[in-house]
Amino acid sequence: MRFAVNRGSYAEHEGTGFSTGHHRASGIHAYYQDAKAVVDLNSCEITEGDFPRKQAKMLLAWTEIHHEELMADWDLASKGELPFKIEPLR
């Protein structure tokens, strides 16, 4: 899976992706083949998009496992700073 950082304009950072410009809540954008999903980091739920069932389960499990790291990185991204790399989904 691929994640992308979105801070109002599009920029990519391999491993993690955060949406700070278009969404009020902290979230990540995830891409798998032609599917896209937005995961709310507060609820650890997919709030937009449609992922295949298996990949959605893996994405949400990864989000829960790395929740503290994701929140810390989202805080950095919201301040315009680069987030740290997080162990990718395998």
Whether 84 is in a domain gets the answer: no
Task: Tell me whether residue 71 is in a domain.
Answer: yes
Tell me, what's the pLDDT at 60? 92
On whether residue 87 sits in a domain, the answer given is: no
Q: How confident is the model at residue 13, as a pLDDT?
A: 40
Per the domain annotation, does 89 fall within a domain?
no
pTM score > 0.75 for this model? no
Asked whether the predicted pLDDT for residue 31 surpasses 90, the reply is no
* pLDDT higher at 89 or 1: 89
In a domain, 37, yes or no: yes
Domain that holds residue 30: 2-78
How many domains does one find in the chain?
1
pLDDT at 69 over 60: yes
SS (H, E, C) the chain: CEEEEECCCEECCCCCCCECCCCCCCEEEEEECCEEEEEECCCCEEEEECCCHHHHHHHHHHHHHCHHHHHHHHHHHHCCCCCCCCCCCC
Domain presence at residue 38: yes
